[in-house]
Structure 1
Amino acid sequence: MSGGKLPEGWATSTINEMCNLNPKLKLDDDLDVGFMPMAGVPTTYLGKCNFETKKWSEVKKGFTQFQNDDVIFAKITPCFENGKAVVIKEFPNGYGAGSTEYYVLRSINGLINPHWLFALVKTKDFLTNGALNMSGSVGHKRVTKE
């Protein structure tokens, strides 16, 4: 890989080209799903989600929606800088909802492995770049979608 060239068959891409941001779900109101507030999102690589089971009808509006294999990360300070992020796994029926202060990344047609995407959002470069590009007032700064 001398000279900054990628191996044959590789290409550069952006997250926007590989993932849908904050996709919505349409589920049966009686379905059990996981509900995870910000406190339930780990800051470590191997941390587990802490969630409770609720009916979809209770959490489908006014919360961020996600499903198994989505990558979520906090968009508000200081949670973003603290690295609150996780690959969603083992949620009831594969679905969940939680804080409106999450960004959800869902791979488009398997273009990127969710664990690689998770590793990317945990890098120092991603966290530093996001922190430098926050908007909003002190105490309520958020990472922009760009």
Structure 2
Amino acid sequence: MKDWLKITIGEFIDFNPLEKLQKNTIAKKIPMDKLGTFERKIKGFEFKEYKSGPKFKNKDTLLAKITPCLENGKTALVNILEDDEIAFGSSEFIVLRNNELSDYKFIYYLARSPYFREKAISCMEGTSGRKRVNEGALKNLSINVPPLAIQQKIAKILSDLDDKIEVLSQLNDNLAQLAKTIYDYWFVQFDFPDENGKPYKS
């Protein structure tokens, strides 16, 4: 770890980078409820007229800044947009983007880690139940980070694991749907197979 850097979070990550999206433009919006708990995948979007809110593009990380969403791990990596497409989201997101010191996937996994999350929670302000991260305070905190090449290796391992988890999750969903279909045929429509393996009613 002798090559690791000790720098501020604001030096390592660009917060809420500027993007152009004219007001009243119809664009994809990602609300808070489309972020899962400690899940990379965004569950969907809706088309809305842009009025305000943070703007982002593919490879950005969305981090919830309000309680209890931050504590519950609502963090996602944006990868559902077209090339060069700009979207917007909940005003309770912090958008995190990599720079020349950082890898975008590593930033996502860092933001999801207890190490980073505890730092963010320590910067929350406001009344109980409506606390939000003070972004200026968070950017000024120091962290230890590996060189870019090591970041990329770490991120690849974790990303490959997430890929496998998502495939298995989809397989489980498919099996659950198959079980539901069989149950419906057999116990709702009573179209179960007879002793010869043929449909009982058909």
Does residue 38 (structure 1) correspond to residue 32 (structure 2)? The answer is: yes
Hey, what does 2:44 align to over in structure 1? Answer: 50
CA-CA distance at 1:121 after TM superposition: 0.9
Answer yes or no: is the 8 Å Cα contact 1:37–1:51 preserved in 2: yes
Answer yes or no: is the 8 Å Cα contact 2:42–2:77 preserved in 1: no
Alignment partners' CA distance in 1, 2:126 and 2:108: 25
Alignment partners' CA distance in 2, 1:63 and 1:104: 10
Hey, what does 1:143 align to over in structure 2? Answer: 133
Hey, what does 1:104 align to over in structure 2? Answer: 95
Cα root mean square deviation, aligned: 2.2
Q: Which runs of 4+ in 1 moved over 3 A?
A: 27-33
Hey, what does 1:16 align to over in structure 2? Answer: 10
| Length-normalised TM-score, structure 1 | 0.79
Hey, what does 1:68 align to over in structure 2? Answer: 58
Q: Which protein is richer in helix relative to its size?
A: 2
Q: Secondary structure at the match of 1:116?
A: helix
Answer yes or no: is the 8 Å Cα contact 2:97–2:107 preserved in 1: no
Q: Where in structure 2 are there 5+ consecutive unaligned residues? A: 138-202
Answer yes or no: is the 8 Å Cα contact 1:71–1:105 preserved in 2: yes
In terms of Rg, which structure is larger? 2
Aligned residues: 135
Q: Secondary structure at the match of 2:70?
A: coil
Change (3 A) 1:138 1:26: same
Q: Secondary structure at the match of 2:95?
A: strand
Q: Deviations over 1:11-34 (max 9, x none)?
A: 333321132211221146797632
Residue type matched to 1:70 in 2? D
Q: Secondary structure at the match of 1:13?
A: strand
CA-CA distance at 1:132 after TM superposition: 2.8
Hey, what does 2:149 align to over in structure 1? Answer: none
Alignment partners' CA distance in 1, 2:75 and 2:114: 13
Change (3 A) 1:49 1:95: farther
Answer yes or no: is the 8 Å Cα contact 1:53–1:92 preserved in 2: no
Q: Deviations over 1:55-80 (max 9, x none)?
A: xxx21x32111111111100000000
Change (3 A) 1:22 1:72: same
Q: Where in structure 1 are there 5+ consecutive unaligned residues? A: none
Residue type matched to 1:99 in 2? S
Answer yes or no: is the 8 Å Cα contact 2:23–2:52 preserved in 1: no
